[in-house]
Amino acid sequence: MTEHNLRSGYTTGSCAAAASKAAALFLTTGKNPQQVTLDLPGGENGTWIPEQVPDEERFFLETRAGSSSFRVRKDAGDDPDVTNGSWVYVRVAPLSEKELAERSDYGKGYRIDGEPPVYLDGGCGIGLVTREGLSCPPGHYALNPVPREMIAHAVQEICQYAGYREPLLITVAIPGGEKLARKTFNPKLGIMGGLSILGTTGVVRPMSEDALLDTIRLELHMNAAAGKTQVVMTPGNYGETFLETEMAIPHGKAVVCSNFVGDSAAMAAEEGIREILFVGHIGKLIKVAAGMRNTHSRYGDSRMETIAGLLSRALGGISLQLKEEILACGTTDEALKLLMVREGHYAQLVMNETAKMVKVQMEAWSGEEVSVEVIVFSSALRLIGCTESAEEYCNQVRSGV
C-alpha cells in the first residue's frame, strides 16, 4: 500500500487566535513577534508567522486610536478548503468600560469575561447569523464557540503576561470573505455576508480522497488482523466526542471514515469485518439515509427533503404546510426543533427512521456481508435515534475496551 504523507493545516479559528495573540503582544508591550505559537484544543500546537497589517489595508478593520492590527495567512495543508491562502486579519484595541457595557447589550459580537474582559466582534468578510439552529444566535457574527474561546484565551494570556487589565475590543476580518462564502453552504444555512470562523480542534485534516481511503482501509485491515470482526465507525470529531462522553467508548477507538461512508462499508466487508456500530450526527447521517455514499457538500444537499420524506413515509403522509416548513429549515437541528415544537414525537420518529435507513444503505453497500447497527444523535437537542440492536452492539464494544 502506498504511503501518503498528507499535510494538515489550520482552521480559521486558530488563525484568528494567532493573529489576536500577535496584536495583543504589540499593543501591550510594543514587541513585534516574529512568530506565534498556540496550544490547540485538539491537543496539538501550531506556529504562525504574523504580519502587521499594511497601512494601505487598515481600512479592512476600520481606524481606532491606539489599536494594533496583525494578520496571518490561512494554510489548510492538503485540504481543499475555499479559505486556503486567505489572510485572517485581527485588530486589538482599548475599550472603555462604558463601550464594553453598550456593546455587550446591543452589539453583534460576544462579551467574554476574564482578566481582562474582551469583546469579540466581526469585521469585513465575517457573516452574520440570520436563522435559529446554529451555534451562534441570530443577529450575531458567525464566530463559533471554540474559536471564541481560543481568541479570548490567547489575548488574555498576553495581557496577564504584560500586566494589562483594561477591557479590549477584538475584531476579526477576512477580506474577500463575502465572495468566498458564496462557494459554501453559508447562505443556505442563514449566514449572510461572509464566512464563519470555524474549528473544534484548531487543525484541518487533509481530505485527499485516495490517501484518506488508504488510511481507512489500513485501519480496518489492522482491526481484522487483530482478530476483530466488529468495529465502531464514525464520520469525525462530533461522533468521537459523543462516543466518549455519552457512550463511554474512549476517544480513538472508532474508525473515522470522514465523508466516505459507502466506500468504508464496502472496504469493511472486503477486510472481513462483519459488524459495524455506526455513530454520527443527524446532519451527516441524514445524507447517508438518502443514499449518499459520499457525504461531502460538493455531492449535493438533500437533507430537508430526506427529513420530510422519512416523516411522510413513517406517518403515511404529511400536510403540504408541514413539508414546506421543513424544507425552509437551514439545518437538521432547526428542522428537528420545528418538529419538537409542532409535534413532539415527530422529531424522535425522524431520528429513528434515519437510523433505520442508514442501516439499510450501509448493509447494501457492504454487499449484505456486514451487519450494521446505527446511533444517530443531535447534541444540541439531546435527541438520540437508534436501530434495534444498537445498544447491544454498544455494550459489546464497551466490554471489550
Per-residue burial over 279-314, b = 16 or more CB atoms within 10 Å of its CB, e = otherwise: bbbbbbbbbbbbebbbbeeeeebbbbebbbbbbeee
pLDDT band at 81 (very low <50, low <70, confident <90, very high): confident
Give pLDDT, residue 182.
87
Please determine, for residue 205, whether its predicted confidence score (pLDDT) is greater than 90.
no
- Note the pLDDT tens digit of each residue in 136-182: 999 999 999 999 999 999 999 999 999 999 999 999 999 999 999 98
Please determine, for residue 3, whether its predicted confidence score (pLDDT) is greater than 60.
no
* Mean pLDDT score across all residues of the chain: 90
Q: Which residues are registered as beta bridge partners of 396?
A: none
The SS3 assignment for 122 reads strand
Mean per-residue pLDDT, 230-238:
92
Cis upstream peptide for 54 (omega within 30°): no
CB 336 within 8 A of CB 381: yes
Mean per-residue pLDDT, 314-331:
92
Give pLDDT, residue 208.
55
- Note the pLDDT tens digit of each residue in 19-75: 999 999 999 999 999 999 999 888 888 999 999 999 888 888 887 889 999 999 998
Percent of the chain, pLDDT > 70?
94
Q: Residue 239's closest CA among 195, 198, 277, 193?
A: 277
Please determine, for residue 254, whether its predicted confidence score (pLDDT) is greater than 70.
yes
